[in-house]
Amino acid sequence: MPLTTTYWLEHAWLGSYAEPGVALDVTDGRIAAVRTGVDAPPPGATVLRGFTVPGLANAHSHAFHRALRGTVQVGSGTFWTWREVMYAVAQRLTPDSYFALARAVYAEMALAGITAVGEFHYLHHAPGGTPYDDPNAMGEALIAAAREAGVRITLLDTAYLSAGFGAAPDHHQLRFSDGTAEKWAERVSDLKERDGVRVGAAIHSVRAVPADQLSTVARWAEERRAPLHVHLSEQTAENEACHAAHGVTPTRLLADHGVLGPRTTGVHNTHMTEADIALVGSTSTGTCMCPTTERDLADGIGPAVALQKAGSPLSLGSDSHAVIDLLEEARAMELNERLRTHIRGHWTAAALLRAASADGHAALGWNDAGTLEPGALADFTTIALDTVRTAGPVPRLAPETAVFAASAADVRHVVIGGRTVVRDGAHVSVPDTAGALAAAIAALRD
């Protein structure tokens, strides 16, 4: 008979408010029962004091960008000058060094309460573009890293075929390119899903995949009912180049080639026309906002409110990992909109938590995660309510406290699939996460 473990949650978010005294029974990695009104821990229960929420989903990650933190803050520039520094780091990575870096990055995510990551993966081949003996060696390194860090991963294997509209890949981008979308599909089809692993697709951007090959990527994802993500209208320069090449916006181009739809997520969606917003919403295409990266790269503030009102589900990502803190991403989405409109209160704390949990998991193909209810995956995160940031508010305001006051540093416990990954603020299998990060990044400078 399967073993059942009981967790007693001092306070829990059950979708709209903080419920005191909740017992979760977990069997075979899933929540078997949720009992409210449990005033004291049942005998033998694991006690989680603080505010427990469903595990957070980081819907957009480039793991190797973590090596840029601090380095790219020197001087000034734009997204395009930042990109040159990023390319230099990408050139140094091997499957072994990428595993070491990603393992530490995913452990940092777990410490921040993240239980699933969408890895937008385009670093496929050796320098110069030569495939490894295993053409998916880099993707497999990421999968292995996530497994050792204890987090679920959706590997969004990315088609990246050109340097711009009609331009062949430059020397940096040869590592990214499979040559054609057909060859990309052949390679990625060899990746296998397994426990804790989903395989999805990504189009890097309309400038990086020729228009006549967009449908090949979309068809691959459709046949497998897999998530499909795409960087969309992150920069005004991309919009202008797309107009020059095709006479339409990137959003219209994607729609014309069958890319938009309910399993598709546009990442950033920053510089959109009203027609673009209506098109994204009417097709139920998702929007992944990455506010800490968008402000770090001076991208701009995207029309998240308008997109959601039009019908686009919102998720959140840490993207370039300027910081890894989904609570900050949720807070920043609201606060950015306040700055833009001079009005407060565009989303409730509950709505922001949903974007960071259930809606993020759905964008990554984990529709059975992101809620604390029977049948859901037993993935949950406990945020302390007694730190210098969170002490003071009454417990019923725990959702507001979590979103508008707490940070990743306030995460105390993380359970994924019924297994404790973070206990008392320390990662169980990567106890010296900071040391692992420092060593992995230092190795890329040698």
Catalytic residues: 268, 319
Amino acid at 364: L
Whether the Cβ atoms of residue 334 and residue 297 lie closer than 8 Å to each other: no
Best CA proximity match to 418, nearest among 55, 165, 16? 55
